[in-house]
Structure 1
Amino acid sequence: MIPSAALESRIAVRARDPRPDPGPRLESVYRPARPLDLYATVATFQRGPGDPAQAWSTGVIWRAIRTPQGVASVALRQLRDGSVRAASWGPGREWAIAQVPALCGALDDDTGFDPSLHPLIADSHHRHPGLRIGRGDMLFDALVQSVTEQKVTAIQAFSAWRRLVTWFGERVPGLTPKPMFAPPTIEGWRRIPSWAWHRAGLEPPQSRTIVMAARRGDTLVRAMAACAPEARDAILTSLPGIGPWTAAETRIRALGDPDAVSVGDFHLAHQVGYALTGTRVEDDGMLELLAPWAGQRQRVIRYILASGVREPRRAPRLHPEDHRAR
């Protein structure tokens, strides 16, 4: 029998634990038609090692998402035969399970992609046969992530995302390896107070962009779902504070766009230039180098990053500034 003091302690811990009732668990197995590297495909959605919305633990990818039916946690494990076992908890579990194939690249179309046009791409393609471009399908979450990563270091952006989602997101149910939180609703992003943005380490231009986008959030999501692919950039960049880089990053994460190129990135053009020519280039040079793969340029970038080829560092890393004390 548990002593009364220990029992009282357990009750107190449970009272402080805001974890919601997981309800029934929903499971499925996704069997990809082509080779799949689950980690290489899905890990790109994680925003740093402390991301409260995605984690990797003992061979399982855990995700906390907000679906049209409510929040859900999702656990993904790749089996020896290449299939992916998925389990989900929460009110959004049916949507989350149905979305797993797209997340794992089932809709990824590489028609017309020719890796033989460059030896490095051919080699990386050969060594990474399971690399796919997945899609998260939650457009506004992808947009917020992209805005938080504008013109700052990855460390700063990931820190701001972690704080905001933990403070204003919703704890998801399930047997997650740590407390995990789905991002706020669109209205939730709009209602975040100004002091919280500052405390999270986000600059005023970024927070204003997110709040203004949230005011048109539902309309934006519907417009993006209904428009032709070639019109997506025009819709996104019509929002104040959203430029080509942010639009491309949003399309990559939410829609798995195989041709999106993040023009204006601090490092990307240099990486592409060095990998393909041995010399760094700027944006115009990067676009010229990627032109032979029109329609599949993001795929080429993925293979460049997977190749491990990096330009030698020329200077110390940029030290992130902390503006929260201002």
Structure 2
Amino acid sequence: MVAPVLAAGPRHAVDVRFRLERPLDLARTLGPVRRGRGDPCLHVAGTDAVRAARTPEGPATTWVRHEGDELRVRAWGPGARWAADQVPDLVGEGRDPDELTALLATVDRPEVGLLRDLHRRHAGVRVPRTAAVVEALVPTILEQRVTSAGARRSHRSLVLAHGAPAPGPPEVAGRLRLPPTPARLARLPSWTFHHHEVERRRADTIRRVATRGRALDAAADLPLDDAYRRVRAIPGVGPWTAGGIGGVALGDPDAVVVGDLHLPHMVSWLLRRVPRSSDEEMLELLAPYRGQRGRVLRLVGLAGAGVPRFGPKRVNPRISRL
């Protein structure tokens, strides 16, 4: 399917070209991986993306450019070869979107026409897979019970304070940071997390994840059921958090987030024009799409249909001032 030609260069640089078999929307495919526009680990601009990550072989910075039916890739750092080889999986090249097309052809529901149209319009949106479980868990834990904006500020603050410079030339990696190592996170006291607007409950969960970092990252190579079982064995990591990393680290096209404040309402509003719903009703609506529910949820998000709002806007307290 993919026939890369590798040429090792100076400073651990690796150059790769991959031919794509299907359309790719690089920015939207990497949307779930990126933690907002201010993510210090991943920058995306049009058809270019630059990512700093810790691989099994060491730190790496990976630059990806989408050109027609090809991806141009260059990577730097001790983990450059691993990171470059992993790019097709990162952008979902091995996960077939035609599986959703085939499933939609078998479902007799009023919303199927809308989903088919959304699927056609967003044909280039794939299911990414970073294979970096801890890297995905930490910002997802930060999102527990707070607004997305607040969680992203905490993530950025933690990475800037406790991460490391990304490898590679300054013109590519200069504004990027590697995420903190699990060992670093495991040693941070709760009061340090407090400075990053993270209370003790989430801080303790992050430290538990960090102390099991090697076993958790190895879960990416397990069958999905076993991977989820290992992740959910960590106290503080429930269905919401596990579902949140499924479509990022594990490449699961069926990943479903339950326990979210907004997602059931979004699904209900788009699929049946009812503005309020519950997890149970959402799962019932998604049942015909089992196996591809993560893709359906992504289409719901891409549809951008605003749900009518009720009640006051949620505001997080400043934990560092408590």
* Structure 1 counterpart of 2:143: 149
* Structure 2 counterpart of 1:276: 271
Q: Give the drift of 1:322.
A: 0.7
Question: Residue 296 of structure 2 aligns to which amino acid in structure 1?
Answer: V
1:308 to 290, 304, 307: 304
| Contact 1:71 1:170 (C-alpha < 8 Å) held by counterparts | no
CA distance in 2, matches of 1:288, 1:262: 14
2:33 to 42, 45, 51: 45
* Structure 2 counterpart of 1:288: 284
| Contact 1:57 1:177 (C-alpha < 8 Å) held by counterparts | no
Q: How many residues are matched? A: 303
CA distance in 2, matches of 1:130, 1:211: 37
Q: Give the drift of 1:177.
A: 6.4
Greater radius of gyration (CA)? 1
Q: Secondary structure at the match of 2:64?
A: strand
CA distance in 1, matches of 2:142, 2:255: 19
Once the two structures are superposed, residues 222-259 of structure 1 have per-residue CA deviations (whole angstroms, 9 ceiling, x without a partner) of 3x246432233322221111111111112221011111
* Structure 1 counterpart of 2:95: 108
CA distance in 2, matches of 1:253, 1:68: 17
* Structure 2 counterpart of 1:202: 198
| Contact 2:220 2:249 (C-alpha < 8 Å) held by counterparts | no
Question: Residue 186 of structure 1 aligns to which amino acid in structure 2?
Answer: P
Q: Give the drift of 1:303.
A: 1.2
Q: 1:243 to 1:24 in 2, by over 3 A?
A: closer
Matched, 1:77 2:65: yes
Q: TM-score, normalised by structure 1?
A: 0.88
Q: Secondary structure at the match of 1:324?
A: helix
1:264 to 259, 262, 287: 259
Once the two structures are superposed, residues 281-311 of structure 1 have per-residue CA deviations (whole angstroms, 9 ceiling, x without a partner) of 2100000000001111001111111222221
| Contact 2:190 2:204 (C-alpha < 8 Å) held by counterparts | no
| Contact 1:148 1:160 (C-alpha < 8 Å) held by counterparts | yes
* Structure 1 counterpart of 2:161: 167
Question: Residue 31 of structure 2 aligns to which amino acid in structure 1?
Answer: A
Question: Residue 50 of structure 1 aligns to which amino acid in structure 2?
Answer: G
Once the two structures are superposed, residues 72-125 of structure 1 have per-residue CA deviations (whole angstroms, 9 ceiling, x without a partner) of 11111111x232211111111111101100011112144642235412111101
| Contact 2:220 2:250 (C-alpha < 8 Å) held by counterparts | no
CA distance in 2, matches of 1:73, 1:227: 26
* Structure 1 counterpart of 2:78: 91
After superposing the two structures, state which structure 1 stretch, 281-290 or 116-125, moved more.
Answer: 116-125
* Structure 1 counterpart of 2:124: 130
2:24 to 7, 29, 36: 36
CA distance in 1, matches of 2:74, 2:237: 35
CA distance in 2, matches of 1:111, 1:317: 39
Q: Secondary structure at the match of 1:276?
A: helix
CA distance in 2, matches of 1:69, 1:24: 12
CA distance in 2, matches of 1:34, 1:170: 35
After superposing the two structures, state which structure 1 stretch, 183-192 or 110-119, moved more.
Answer: 110-119
Once the two structures are superposed, residues 173-203 of structure 1 have per-residue CA deviations (whole angstroms, 9 ceiling, x without a partner) of 2233652111122212101232220001111
Q: Give the drift of 1:278.
A: 0.3
1:321 to 310, 317, 320: 317
Task: Give unmatched runs, 5+ long, in structure 2.
Answer: 1-9
| Contact 2:27 2:45 (C-alpha < 8 Å) held by counterparts | no
CA distance in 2, matches of 1:228, 1:173: 32
CA distance in 1, matches of 2:46, 2:136: 26
Q: Quote the RMSD (CA, aligned, Å).
A: 1.8
Task: Give unmatched runs, 5+ long, in structure 1.
Answer: 1-21
Identity level (%): 38
CA distance in 1, matches of 2:126, 2:152: 23
Q: Give the drift of 1:59.
A: 4.3
Q: Secondary structure at the match of 1:88?
A: strand
1:217 to 194, 213, 216: 213
Q: Secondary structure at the match of 1:62?
A: strand
Matched, 1:233 2:228: yes
| Contact 2:21 2:69 (C-alpha < 8 Å) held by counterparts | no
| Contact 1:120 1:307 (C-alpha < 8 Å) held by counterparts | no
Q: TM-score, normalised by structure 2?
A: 0.89
